Amino acid sequence: METNKVWFITGASRGMGLSLVKKLIIAGYNVAATSRKSQRLIDAVGHVEGPRFLPLEVDLTSEKSINEAFERTVAHFGKIDVLVNNAGYGIGGAVEELSQEEIKDSFEINVMAVIKTMQSAMPYFRQQKSGHIINISSIAGFAPGKGWAMYAATKYAVTGLSEVMAEDVKEFGVKVTVVAPGAFRTEFLEENSLVFAEKKIDGYTAVRSSHEKYAAMNGSQIGNPELLAQVFIDLVKNPNPPVRLYLGSDAYKRATEKVNLLSEELESNKYISYSTDFN
């Protein structure tokens, strides 16, 4: 039965992760979910009958903490079938405004945690010759917005990492999908999910305007997180899931515009590309 599958979801105490956990539990799946504070996760999910829900307090910057979470999950459920890397946060600012610590912290959660969880999951997936990894990138990982260079850098990394990972693990029967959502009506644009460079440099008016535009969008995003959660469930049922999946009409439109731009630039500079070949 599909509902015998065990899902492992990071960053599950709010937003997309929380919507997915709730929908999975209602549907009868087994769910292990992580948060920095397990009680916050328990409170957010609410009462769950039986052993189908395993809340885990995990430090995603710690390889040891991540490994222990997977060991506890397998000890509790007997296996893991799906890994969803949902944890992450937005970081805004011009490149010269961001400190090395701010940059390092964003890569630690948005990129390195994804790598660490995949490294922890793969031994189980290889042994059972099955599994599905879903990494949450962003439309910013393909068509980024002004003022979000470092966030785009982390999400580009997740996209590229996932594309190659999909090829590397295919022979083990493991599937990988990188999801690039547009704007969904979650807490992502609220203060607890966004970080801005502490240092502000005069003159970056376009960057400030971009940040103000995104802040004003909060609460009116076009994306429905409940529908997104169902897409994830359907994705895992799909015997041939896509490697790249853009979610939201806004993401689709931005991706289409970027594809057209890339095609135009490739063709207009084709003679330069060819000029570096040996004759």
- pLDDT of 215-270, one tens digit each? 666 655 666 777 888 899 999 999 999 999 999 889 999 999 999 999 999 999 99
Look up residue 57 and give its two tokens.
């307090």
Q: Which candidate, 94, 121, 90, 120, places its Cα nearest to that of 105?
A: 90
CA–CA gap between residue 82 and residue 196 (Å, rounded): 32
Between CA 18 and CA 134, with CA 143 as vertex, the angle to 5 degrees is 35
Cα(64)–Cα(223) distance, integer angstroms: 35
C-beta separation of 81 from 24 below 8 A:
no
Average pLDDT over the chain, rounded to whole?
Answer: 91
Q: In this predicted model, what pLDDT tens digit does every residue of 206-216 receive, in sequence order?
A: 998 888 776 66
**Three-state SS at 67:** helix
Integer Cα distance of 61 and 40 in angstroms: 19
Catalytic residues: 137, 151, 155
pLDDT computed for residue 97 by the predictor: 95
**Percent with pLDDT over 90 in the chain:** 71
Please give the model's pTM, rounded to 2 decimal places: 0.92
How much is the pLDDT for 190?
54
